[in-house]
Amino acid sequence: MTNFIRIFILLLAAALIQTACSDDDSASQTATEEQAEKLTGRWKATTVTLDGATQEAYAETVFTLSSMTSGTNMSYIIEENPDQSPWRVSSGGRLFFDAQDPTKYLTREDDVRISYEVTETTLLFEFTYAEPATTGRIAGIVGEWKFVFTKQ
């Protein structure tokens, strides 16, 4: 009987040690962290429209998105950004996750609110660029923009 008790105690101890070593102790990701992970990468523009009209000047445009260490924003770099563009920072800038719904909205550094959807291979940005119409760089770029990207 003593051997049975010893074996039982050893098996119980082994079971307790095994369950104590599981990987479940790590904290789960926040919604913002999950979205930042999905957004990170190089994204090539496949379709760009302004008020429903295709914009051919974006055929070579590539966005590179990177998560910032704070976890609340992303940095972006734009390659082949046309001169007439709703992206005011010609080479890159920052996007901030919406505090209320980080899975659907980003805010650009100039306070433009961007609706987005992201999957493993596709990214969609939709926003209204409502800068007052003037002559020069922003003439002809005011309206409803839709950018569809494919992950590279």
Neighbours of 137 (CB within 10 A): 13
Q: What is the DSSP letter of 29?
A: P
pLDDT value at position 147? 98
Instruction: Write down how long the chain is.
Output: 152
pLDDT value at position 73? 92
**Considering the entire predicted model, what is its pTM?**
0.77
| pLDDT, tens digit (0-9, with 9 covering 90-100), for 137-149 | 555 799 999 999 9
Distances (CA, A) of 11 to 2, 14, 20, 22, 31: 14, 5, 14, 17, 40
* Closest to 141 (Cα-Cα) out of 82, 60, 64: 82
pLDDT value at position 88? 75
Q: Is 94:73 a contact under the CB 8 Å cutoff? A: yes
Q: Which residues in the chain show pLDDT less than 50? A: 22, 25
| pLDDT, tens digit (0-9, with 9 covering 90-100), for 83-110 | 889 987 767 899 999 999 999 999 999 9
pLDDT value at position 25? 44
pLDDT value at position 68? 84
Angle at 95 between CA 74 and CA 88, to 5 degrees: 130
Amino acid letter for position 75? S
